[in-house]
Amino acid sequence: MRDRNLTLILIRSARKALAAAVAGVALALAAGALIGAPAANAAQPPRNIIILFADGAAPTQWDFGRHSSKVLRGQPFVTTDIVFRQGTLGLLSTHPSNGYVTDSAAAGSAMSTGYKVNNGAVAITPDGKPVPTVMEVARARGKRIGLVTTATVYDATPAAFSLHAKLRWQYQALVDQYLALEPEVLMGGGADYFLPAGAPGGKRKDGKDVIAAFRAKGYQVVRNTAELNAATGAKVLGLFADTDMDFELDRDPARQPTTAEMTAAALKALSQSSPNGFVLLVENENIDTAGHANDAASLMRALWAFDDAVTVALDFQRHSPDTLLIVTGDHESGGFSPTEALRDLSKVSWENRFNPGEEQLRMLARITMSLNRVKEKLGRKPSGEVLDKLLAEHFPGFTLDPDLRELILRQQTREHNFTYLPHNHLGRMVARQTGYYWGTSGHTSQPVVVGAIGPGAELFHGYQDNTEFGKHLHRLILRD
Ligand SMILES: [Zn+2]
């Protein structure tokens, strides 16, 4: 790392015109010496950067995506089989400045700014200082910028990559900052904090209509899949839900586009009239939400949906090789741990065990409702009758053991680290019959994977801290 720091000092002191060449050669030498990366790759900084971000994904999730895609879809999982396999591969430690287990705001901030922050903070360090985000740096260099998510657009990850807040829950203020920053592409859920409390779905307390304000700034506003696919504007605001967008299992394709459709539309808008290139963040948040809920069936579909978006972005990268494509996540969610298990509790010997195999995957594939949606349907006071009907209809082949049924109806947890009710109990029902177990309803400390293809990819090699990821991005954008 000393070599690399020295290189950076050299870069800063070199004259601007010379900087790119010096940096390219020196970094290529440093990186090449360290990791044997091809020197040619580092000679030019990327013109465009696409960051595909699976919130809540770590190695176990990625491999589940690969395995289930191969067995059930009969197709490769592009993230593992192409990006991780052919690109540069690294791991990131994820801890925030005030603990060991991170939230999305702290991890996103570290990856966007290069600084550690406390859990809950959005690109503001513990001493109260706002630090430049990736999108702010990109904007300052004249690049076009885009943020796409299945969560609300003001959720922790897109916010941490572009804005600032002492606490991630300051939604209205975050939306105001988007209006000031004017990212050329902003897509996801969260129309509620764009509309005044009086309007349908609106929650703003200041009476403002921020959708109208975006329109006044020349944005094309799209509210459903058909409008998105027909969009031709260079600046697009897409709001497809009042709050989070739905899980794949529950999604109405006419109302809400897929992550891949949003990615294609974002690339189409951003690559118009972009002399200085662009930086695009695409997040699938449902991978994290499925982890919290311990919902293996929803996780599987979310991973496939994310991977379809990776396919779209990789195709763009193949046609525009001056693009750096990065696939990563911020932390692991749910302590996901597929494992062998007992068929019943009669004996613990090996002949009473099963391994999660193809039969178990097919059971997951037959589930037709997310655990989030089950909770909505059950309401505040779950009734046994409604529960049985939902299970019979949407979870074919599954049996709810009496202990779990009682916990659901009483709305009680069985452990200190399982707090999503009734999701976690239903997740345990699925686990007992498939082997897809979970260790918590929260986040864990697993390092996250970074896969990168394109100019600058070699910087992400090896075991690093998530702050180094942010520093690399700033470096690559500033060298451009
Ligand atoms: Zn989370």
Q: What pLDDT digit, counting tens, does each position of 236-286 carry?
A: 999 999 999 999 999 999 999 999 999 999 999 999 988 999 999 999 999
**Which pLDDT value is given to residue 274?**
85
For residue 328, give the 3-state DSSP assignment: strand
- The half-sphere exposure of 158 on its side-chain side, counting CA atoms within 13 A, is 30
Predicted confidence (pLDDT) at residue 126 exceeds the cutoff of 70: yes
Output the pLDDT for position 273: 82
CA of residue 242 to ligand 1 center, whole Å? 20
Distance from the alpha carbon of residue 380 to the mean position of ligand 1, in angstroms: 23
Which residues fall within 8 angstroms of residue 61, CB to CB, at 6 or more apart?
54, 287, 291, 299, 303, 329, 332, 336
What mean pLDDT, rounded, does the chain reach?
92
Going from the Cα of 181 to the center of ligand 1, the distance in angstroms, rounded, reads 26
The per-residue pLDDT for 43 is 59
Kindly give the distance from the C-alpha atom of residue 201 to the centroid of ligand 1, in angstroms, as a whole number.
Answer: 24
> Quick one: pLDDT at residue 410?
97
Residue 25 confidence (pLDDT) above 80: no
| High-pLDDT (> 70) share of the chain, % | 91
- pLDDT number for residue 480: 62
Q: What is the pTM of this model?
A: 0.91
Contacts 24+ apart (CB under 8 A), 190-194: 190/151, 190/152, 190/153, 190/154, 190/155, 190/239, 190/241, 190/242, 190/243, 190/244, 191/223, 191/239, 191/241, 191/242, 192/152, 192/242, 192/243, 193/152, 193/154, 194/239
Site of tokens 């920053």 = 181
The answer on pLDDT for 23 being more than 90 is: no
pLDDT at 15 (0 to 100) = 36
Please give the distance, rounded to the nearest whole angstrom, from the Cα atom of residue 167 to the centre of ligand 1. Answer: 15
What is the average pLDDT across 433-460? 98
Residue 26 has pLDDT above 80, yes or no: no
Q: Is the pLDDT of residue 147 over 70?
A: yes
Per-residue model confidence as pLDDT tens digits over 375-405: 999 999 999 999 999 999 999 999 999 999 9
**Per-residue pLDDT reduced to its tens digit, 187-228:** 999 999 999 999 999 999 999 999 999 999 999 999 999 999
Q: Does the annotation count 104 as an active-site position?
A: yes
Query: Per-residue pLDDT tens for 179-189?
Result: 999 999 999 99
pLDDT single digits (tens) 77-93? 999 999 999 999 999 99
The pLDDT > 90 percentage for the chain reads 90
The pLDDT of 51-80, averaged and rounded, is: 98
Which residue in 68, 93, 97, 104 is the catalytic one? 104
CA 61 to ligand 1 center in whole angstroms: 14
pLDDT at residue 173 above 50? Answer: yes
